[in-house]
Amino acid sequence: MASFRIAGDQHLKGEISPQGAKNEALQILCAVLLTDQPVTIHNIPDIRDVNKLIELLGDLGVQVKQLSPSSYRFQADQVDISILDTADYREKASALRGSVMLLGPMLGRFKTGRIPRPGGDKIGRRRLDTHFLGFEKLGAKFNFDSDESGMYHVDASHLKGTYMLLDEASVTGTANVVMAAVLAEGTTTIYNAACEPYLQQLCAMLNRMGAKISGISSNLLTIEGVDKLGGTDHTMLPDMIEIGSFIGLAAMTQSEITIKDCQIPQLGIIPDVFKRLGIKMEFRGDDIFVPAQEHYQIESFLDGGMMTVSDAPWPGFTPDLLSIVLVTAIQAQGTLLVHQKMFESRLFFVDKLIEMGAQMILCDPHRATVIGLNRQQQLKGIRMSSPDIRAGVALLIAALSAKGESIIDNIEQIDRGYQNIDGRLNAIGAKIERL
């Protein structure tokens, strides 16, 4: 297990570029299974979860060629479905939550699939019902091995388009069902579909491959099934979660940071939420400039009530940035209520922030109140452990702003979602040592 040793009280300055979007990558990579033609993908982040998924694709027989540090060519013309029954596949797939999105392309193209119960962050209950109910609506039939293998076996020999109302606007659930439906017979209508930029990117890529998807960017998708898909080139968006993390980092550490090539129109309300915390920023073309700020003040509601930031399906605020908003509010002036509606364990790192000196109350598993310190008191460095990807980076931001040295253990969690985060931050003035 690796750790970060962080020297606190550092003011950073310079330019930093966000990696490709992790949440988009996991969908886009699975989609290469839908065709036997070459698919070239650019701006792929070099992170643990993505690299594990690329390895899984290689195990299945997909030809993988790295063209540059962030570009790969994939060709799935020699896929061996029997690999799905091996212990090695079961072990690798169960360790990666994104592996569940292999199922949709398998069902669409090969009419069968296997998937173990997937892993990932321990941030509360994360149901797979949306995926499975959608597949069943298309005609798939499931069997579950109740033994220790815990494998789902799926027969999709007669997939037919249909109308479905998703039980929740799940991004991965929508993506999975879309990837199965593009090769199903007839027309599929998906209502209450997720419409995040990641999903829009996937649908646009599939249409370039020959799919017929309409309603992109809305919550009502119509998919006319086709017999076959071809190859394409695709460039992924910059990671909006990294962009938000860098905005919060700049505010907490009184740093002057320019975040390059953000594709600002795709960020939705993310900049607005940070502006409500009092953080100044300038849009310079497609770059976001965040000046060093000694003070930033949280807005109140029009009636004077306490500001609340909560997560919601797109175009609402992404749940992946609530941990960053929470830690950024520590040194603000004012009070903030953070309401994490979607996951019941994602705020459980608050105890570490309190130990560092933050004024916070964990109201219940979903809500935390932050009373901003307004720089009247500096956080102090401690030893802590990263419970999940986003909490790990929130703790890293707190440590960089704190007085003294901090150590963060279990940084493999951070590496799952952030590419070379220590090297990139060190390049603009941080002092982070990987142990």
Question: What does the DSSP assignment read for 196-242?
Answer: -HHHHHHHHHHHHTT-EEE-TTSSEEEEE--S----EEEEPPB-HHH
Q: Are residues 297 and 424 in the same domain?
A: yes
Range of the domain at 334: 3-19+238-434
Look at strands 232-235 and 39-42 and give their pairing: parallel
* Percent helix, percent strand, percent coil in the chain, to nearest 5: 35, 25, 40
Provide the domain count of the chain: 2
CATH number at residue 156: 3.65.10.10
Which of 235, 269, 292 is the C-terminal boundary of a domain? 235
pLDDT in tens, the chain (435 residues): 899 999 999 899 999 999 999 999 999 999 999 999 999 999 999 999 999 999 999 999 999 999 999 999 999 999 999 999 898 998 898 888 788 999 999 999 999 998 886 544 443 344 577 888 999 999 999 887 766 667 888 999 999 999 999 999 999 999 999 999 999 999 999 999 999 999 999 999 999 999 999 999 999 999 999 999 999 999 999 999 999 999 999 999 999 999 999 999 999 999 999 999 999 999 999 999 999 999 999 999 888 889 999 999 999 999 999 999 999 999 999 999 999 998 777 898 999 999 999 999 999 999 999 999 999 999 999 999 998 899 999 999 999 999 999 999 999 999 999 999 999 999 999 999 999
Does one domain contain both 316 and 209?
no
Do residues 227 and 264 share a domain? no
Considering the domain architecture, whether residues 180 and 252 belong to the same structural domain is answered as no
Binding-site residues from annotation for phosphoenolpyruvate: 22-23
Residues 82 and 215 in one domain: yes
**Residues 161 and 193 grouped into a single domain:** yes
Tally Cβ neighbours within 10 Å of residue 5. 17
> In this structure, are 153 and 30 located in the same domain?
yes
Are 287 and 344 found together in one domain?
yes
The residue among 213, 235, 257 that closes a domain is 235
Distance CA 33, CA 28 (A): 10
d(CA 227, CA 216): 21
10 Å Cβ neighbour count for 306? Answer: 12
| 346 and 315 share one domain | yes
Q: Residue 73: how many CB atoms within 10 A of its CB?
A: 16
The residue among 178, 185, 176 whose CA lies nearest residue 225 is 185
Q: Give this prediction's pTM.
A: 0.93
Do 301 and 179 lie in a common domain?
no
Last residue of a domain, one of 217, 235, 253: 235
By the 8 A CB rule, do 113 and 156 touch? yes
Same domain, 12 and 27: no
Catalytic residues, which ones? 121
Clarify whether residues 195 and 258 are in a common domain: no
